[in-house]
Amino acid sequence: MLNPPMIQTKLMKNSKSILTACAAALLMVSGSARAAITYRDALEGAAGNTFATVGSLGSTSWLANNNAGNSIETQWDRRSTFGNGGVVFQSSHFTTDAGGDQMPELTTQVTGLSDGQYDVWVFFWDNNGGPNNWTISAGLTSGSLTTYSFDGLGDRTQTVPASSLDFVVNPMFTESTRTLYAVNLRQSTVVGGSSINVFVDNLIGSGTTNRVWYDGVGYELIPEPSAALLGGLGLLGLLRRRR
């Protein structure tokens, strides 16, 4: 027959084993519950999702179809045969006029989402084989954007290669000498079927040869804690108290 000290030691060992097993299970649950990113291409027009923030979805006065290396001072350029879906929106600012940057800020709306918390992403291209450091300015609040580049040099914030992330369906990650990069805009809440608005601009100032190649946005549902996870946390707390 086991004496009381031996019983207590055995119980402690069993509790430790259960704690270890619960911790491993919790890690598996929390890791597998994370959703992958859904990519949505930025598209113009009434049937699209992208428009000038001061305009409306049906208006495309903010957009030129020059398909050239330079954008018009007050318009983005629709570059076809590039990027995901065969289209990117380019903003380049080569002038040094007194008016400064007159490119309009863009809004991309993400609709049709279930209520919940989402991680939000923006995707842009950088020409890694070229002499210039391409950038993008983006955020979840109009007029309050952060400028990003692939390397984060200067006053810019560093991004990550899109290929390093998990997607529901992978977008195109590389094209010629260009690489798709991802900007994490943090979290946005959808309530009552509301949309997520993502705001994009160049904000790279006058006199620069940098440009923006904006391709699209992404969203990733942040799941509620599951019943198994909550139950496991309760069991861990109970075992700790018993010890």
The pTM assigned to this predicted structure is 0.79
Q: Which residues contact 3 (CB under 8 A, 6 or more apart)?
A: none
Assess whether 80 and 57 both reside in one domain: yes
What's the helix, strand, coil split of the chain in %, to 5? 20, 35, 45
Assess whether 86 and 120 both reside in one domain: yes
Tokens representing 114 are 């279930």
Assess whether 237 and 123 both reside in one domain: no
Assess whether 73 and 26 both reside in one domain: no
DSSP H stretches of helix in the chain: 4-33, 227-242
Could you list the residue range(s) of the whole structural domain that residue 63 is in?
38-222
Assess whether 77 and 142 both reside in one domain: yes
Assess whether 184 and 214 both reside in one domain: yes
Query: For the chain, how many structural domains are there in total?
Result: 2
In order along its 243 residues, the chain shows pLDDT tens digits of 555 555 454 444 455 554 444 444 444 444 445 679 999 999 999 999 999 999 999 999 999 988 877 767 788 999 999 999 999 999 976 544 445 567 899 999 999 999 999 999 999 999 987 777 888 999 999 999 998 999 887 667 889 999 999 999 999 999 999 999 999 999 999 999 899 999 999 876 555 567 899 999 999 999 877 544 545 555 555 545 555
Assess whether 43 and 70 both reside in one domain: yes
CATH of the domain at 102: 2.60.120.260
Assess whether 12 and 123 both reside in one domain: no
Assess whether 194 and 237 both reside in one domain: no
Assess whether 15 and 123 both reside in one domain: no
